[in-house]
Chain A
Amino acid sequence: MKKSGATQSGLSRRGFLKALAVGGAGLAAPSLALAAPGEASATPGVAADAELVTVLDLSRCIGCGACVEACREANEEKFPEPTKPFPAMSPARRAKPEDWSGRRDIDDRLTPYNWLYIQSVRVRHGGADHTVHIPRRCMHCVNPPCANLCPFGAANKQTNGLTLINDSLCLGGAKCRTVCPWHVPQRQSGVGLYLHLMPRFAGNGVMYKCDRCHQRLDRGEVPACIEQCPEEVQTIGPRREMIAKARELAESMNGFMYGLDENGGTNTIYVSPVPFELLDAAIEQGRGRPHLKGVADVMAEENSAATAALLAPVAGIAAGFLGIGARLLGPGEDGHATQSKEGDDAR
């Protein structure tokens, strides 16, 4: 599982660029490039704009930080430039601004200015010591609670599988951070729409996180973290192919996967030679430093409730055909009155 595995199914940085050349239509039809023939083993039935999955081979990561630096450079123009002083917020005791603008260089956790960072740990497994470096960022869930529960549609899943927060719509309530199983989005106050509404009473800035370099994907390029990685840790490609690749990779190293089933499935799959339970126990966790625990599908119960609601009108119509509630009341009657003349007619 060294060089060859990176391109057999799905696309490494080099393979992706080669596929662009083979396809010959990279920039003209960017989404097609990801499913271009040659490198991507052309799985039948995979739509050109199908959801894209990244696979991270942790056995290859050396923790050099090139991906972190590349992420910052590629997304610098999206970083917040807050207006100061921040508007007063009520109640002041509970609504506090969050300001990272003076700490933009922090790279050991997620912040509005650092959408990717590396957790490095040393663990013992199988009688050997392993140093494992884990690039951490948004997992881009298949059914993302941050997008599903955002009351304003500011967080949205795109048809290519990434979840994007619209910084012109986001009010910075941080609900997305609360409902995210990894609490990934980070808030910067003093920026965004809330400043133009009722900054004292609602909103508190804008939430920021990895958007998988959507502007680069739109141009037919891979995300910057993938392009700049000297070890080709990550590959990106259509979901079906990437899942097959992750399984193959895990099998080849007798390793473990994380992200395939977490929260009902994500579009990020880590493959590690070390069990994730060991990694989770070893990594530093806290605000902006996500865990590696198993995660049940947090939207599962919501989906059941939604299904019930979507079926409810059918039950109502059936009840109507059974004559339930059909009786009409005459003047002066209430719901418990005896059946009226009108009621007889109504039946």
Chain B
Amino acid sequence: MRARPYSSWISRLFVVSVAGLAVTGLLQMPLAERYALTEVPGLAWTGDFFLVHRLHSYFAALLLFTAGLAATNWLRAWRDRLALTPLGAARVVILGGLMVSGGLRMYRNLPSVTLEPALVVTIEWVHLGLAVALGGAALAALLRGPSAYARLR
């Protein structure tokens, strides 16, 4: 937590949720069985598509909670004292898109909800594309030095 102006537990919540989402997101693809991840002691669960999908939803819940908390604090007080870094702003936009597309994806999976197939495909691929974009932006932020989303004005 390098020189972040907000509490480190918020950063930790964010890092844990995004890392969990990245891992369980990758495991949505049928790779664990093929690449013998399921053979690694303690990782047999990676081949359980239902469990991995549920974990993805739970990590999403953690991220959405953190985002709701941060957004409310931002609107109530932080915006006068904090400014988003350029790469922080870019990642906020990407994360917003990921949360919206992910939320739509979860909504689509609820029973009694049937969306137009073209819309579903769009949601899926936007979500996948934004996940890759977030990875790229996070890597760029790490390579540039301090990777905080915001700094004190």
Contacts and interface: CB of A to CB of B under 8 A. Distances in A.
A31 interface: no
Contacts of B53: 149, 302, 305
A137 to B, nearest CB: 20
A32 interface: no
A329 B111 contact: no
Given A264-B111, A320-B76, A328-B6, A342 B81 contact: yes
Contacts of B65: 312-313, 315-316, 319
Interface residues of A, number: 63
Contact of B120 (A94, A156, A306, A313): A156
Interface in A301-331: 301-303, 305-321, 324-331
Contacts of A316: 64-72
Nearest to A297: B111
Contact of A303 (B60, B73, B77, B110): B110
B89 interface: no
Nearest to B111: A143
A153 B123 contact: yes
Given A91-B34, A156-B117, A156-B121, A149 B49 contact: yes
Given A91-B36, A153-B124, A159-B114, A320 B69 contact: yes
Given A302-B57, A328-B5, A335-B7, A310 B124 contact: no
B28 interface: yes
Contacts of A278: none
Interface string B59-87: 01110111111111100111001100000
Could you say which of A148, A151, A202, A299 has the most chain B C-beta atoms within 10 Å of its C-beta? A151
B116 A159 contact: yes
Contacts of A327: 7
Contacts of B88: none
A306 B57 contact: yes
A328 B68 contact: no
Interface in B31-63: 31, 33-36, 49-50, 53-54, 57-58, 60-62
Contacts of B49: 149, 175, 178-179
B73 A325 contact: yes
28 contacts: A142-B111, A149-B28, A153-B120, A153-B125, A156-B117, A158-B117, A178-B30, A264-B111, A303-B110, A303-B111, A306-B109, A309-B60, A309-B64, A312-B64, A312-B68, A313-B65, A313-B68, A316-B67, A316-B71, A317-B71, A319-B69, A320-B68, A320-B72, A324-B69, A325-B9, A342-B5, A342-B152, A346-B77
Interface of B: 1, 3-11, 28-31, 33-36, 49-50, 53-54, 57-58, 60-62, 64-73, 76-78, 81-82, 103, 106-112, 114, 116-117, 120-121, 123-125, 128, 152
Interface of A: 51, 91, 94-95, 142-143, 145, 148-149, 151-153, 156-159, 164, 166, 169, 173-175, 178-179, 202, 264, 298-299, 301-303, 305-321, 324-331, 334-336, 342, 345-347
